[in-house]
Structure 1
C-alpha cells in the first residue's frame, strides 16, 4: 500500500526544506517526495498520514557500543527497587555482572529509547549475540564503526547539529527511514533535541509513535 507522510515542513537532508512537504512510501522504499499537493496529485489513492512539525531523515547514534553493550537499562518497574531507574555503567555495571540474557533485555529496552528519539541506525561493534539479536529485531541498522569520542547519550543531537546526525538524506529509491519531530524547523530541533520525536519509520514501518 502506498502511504503519504505529510508534514508542516519536510527537511530532505541534502536540499532546501519543503514547506508542506510529503514523502510517498511504497513498501520499504521512498517513491516520491516534494510538496504535498504534487505527491497527492500523482498518487490520489494513497493513504495519507498527516504529521505536525518537521519530517527529517532518521538519525544515527554514534555511541551504539557504549549504550547497547556497556550500559544496563533497568527494567522499570520490575527492577526499580533493586537498581533504581537510571542506566548503570562502569564499576556499578561490573558489580552487577548481568548475564547475556539480561544484557539482551537491556539492549531491547535501549532500542526502544533510541527509536523514541528518531534513531534508525547505530554506529557500533557488537559482540554479544543477544544484543545483536535485540538490535536486529528492533529494525535498527548497525554501522560497523567504533563509537565516537565523548560521553554516550541516547540523544544523537546532544552536542551535534541535526544535519550531522542524519543517517542519510531522503531520496527516491532509498530506504524509507525517517523521523517526525514536534518542532517547527531545524533550528528548533537543535534546541529541543531528539526527545521531540513523535514518530520513527524504518523500512516503511512505523516503529515508534508517541501516544
Structure 2
C-alpha cells in the first residue's frame, strides 16, 4: 500500500510504495498527483534520518531495562560495569536489551548505525530491525549518546531509493541541530513506520 508522508514545516512530502520511495516533492503537488493515496501528516521537517556512530556502545555495551524492571533498574539506559554484570548474570538479556535499544534509536530518528557488532544476538536484532550499517568515522564526535553531536545525516533521499527517513518536529535543520534528535516524531525503515511519537 502506498503512503504519502507530508511535513508541515517545510511543505515537503515523500510517497512510499512498499520498501521504496516512489516520489519526492511538495505536499501540494504529490497530494494532487496521487488522489486517494493514504496521507500521514506530520509537523516539522523531513530528513534522510541519522547515522549513530555508537552502534556497539548502545546495543552491546548498554543495558536498556524492560519497563517491568523499573523498580530494580529504573528506566534509563545502564552502561559500564553495571551493564556487563547484568549481561553476565543472565545472557538472555542481551538480545532483549538490544531490541529495546533499537527502539530508542528509532525514537531519535536513527536509521543507520556504525561500528562493528560482535554479539550474534545483537547483530541479528539490528539486521532484523532494518537498520542500515554505515562506516564509522575515524574520530568519534564525543560521548556515547542517542543524540550525538555533531549529528550525521544520511545522504539525501532519492526516488527509487530505500524508504528510510525520519521526521523531526522542528522548523528547520538549524533547529534540529540546536534541539537534538529527541525532537523526532516519526521514523520509517523499509517503508514501515517503526516509531511514532506521542
TM-score, normalised with respect to structure 1: 0.84
Gaps of at least 5 residues in structure 1 are 10-18
Determine the structure 1 residue equivalent to 2:56.
Answer: 65
SS across alignment from 2:118: coil
Over the residues paired in the alignment, what is the CA RMSD in angstroms? 1.9
Give, in whole Å, the separation in 2 of the partners of 1:74 and 1:2: 36
Runs of 4+ in 1 over 6 A off after TM superposition: none
Residue 73 of structure 1, CA deviation: 1.6
Determine the structure 2 residue equivalent to 1:159.
Answer: 149
User: In structure 2, do the counterparts of structure 1 residues 85 and 38 end up closer, same or farther at CA, with 3 Å as the change threshold?
Assistant: closer
Q: Are 1:82 and 2:69 counterparts?
A: no
User: In structure 2, do the counterparts of structure 1 residues 146 and 57 end up closer, same or farther at CA, with 3 Å as the change threshold?
Assistant: closer
Alignment counterpart, residue 103 of structure 2, candidates 106, 112, 115: 112
Q: Deviations over 1:67-114 (max 9, x none)?
A: 111111222232x33333332222323433254321111111110100
- The answer (yes or no) to whether the contact 1:23–1:32 under 8 Å persists in 2 is yes
SS across alignment from 1:121: strand
Q: Are 1:180 and 2:171 counterparts?
A: no
Corresponding residue pairs, total:
196
Determine the structure 1 residue equivalent to 2:181.
Answer: 194
User: In structure 2, do the counterparts of structure 1 residues 44 and 143 end up closer, same or farther at CA, with 3 Å as the change threshold?
Assistant: same
Give, in whole Å, the separation in 2 of the partners of 1:144 and 1:100: 28
Determine the structure 1 residue equivalent to 2:121.
Answer: 130
Determine the structure 2 residue equivalent to 1:4.
Answer: 4
- The answer (yes or no) to whether the contact 1:29–1:204 under 8 Å persists in 2 is yes
Give, in whole Å, the separation in 2 of the partners of 1:147 and 1:92: 28
- The answer (yes or no) to whether the contact 1:100–1:130 under 8 Å persists in 2 is no
- Give the 5 Å matches for 1:3-22: 3-9=3-9, 19-22=10-13
Gaps of at least 5 residues in structure 2 are none
Alignment counterpart, residue 32 of structure 1, candidates 9, 23, 29: 23
- The answer (yes or no) to whether the contact 1:123–1:147 under 8 Å persists in 2 is no
Give, in whole Å, the separation in 1 of the partners of 2:89 and 2:182: 28
Residue 8 of structure 1, CA deviation: 1.9
Residue 123 of structure 1, CA deviation: 0.5
Give, in whole Å, the separation in 1 of the partners of 2:128 and 2:138: 21
TM-score, normalised with respect to structure 2: 0.89
Residue 170 of structure 1, CA deviation: 0.8
